[in-house]
Amino acid sequence: SLFSMQFLLSMSDDESCRPMSCMSSQTLVEFPFRIKDHQPKSCGSPGFDVYCDDKLGTPLLELHSAGNFSINYIYYYIRAIYLSDPDNCLPRKLMSLNLAGISPLRPLG
């Protein structure tokens, strides 16, 4: 199961903020996202920290109210991200998803 989110986009020029990917993933992570343990905080916006899951080889986005989601695609030009549940229980996670006041992300319709 997939769902999509929209995000706000800005610019970052720091050399340490060059696009990166997690292991075997084809998904490039760039501003406003950052790979948490590999790039400085200035490379991303709050709420856009991405983790590399060494077991799955994929990037994960943590949404505090609902947990971790695998990043399937990031479309920077339309400011959209497609996520899936690595635990295969998307309906349960979506029921506990609350983006109000803590995340710059919002579900697309």
Domain ranges of the chain: 2-90
- Give pLDDT tens digits for 48-105: 899 998 887 889 988 776 778 889 889 988 888 888 888 887 767 766 666 665 555 6
Strand order in the sheet with 80-84: 34-35, 49-53, 58-63, 67-75, 80-84, 2-6, 106-107
CA distances from 43 to 55, 56, 62, 93 (A): 25, 24, 17, 28
Contact 21, 28 (CB under 8 A): yes
Least confident of 2-6, 20-24, 84-88: 2-6
Other CB atoms within a 10 A radius of the CB of residue 3 amount to 17
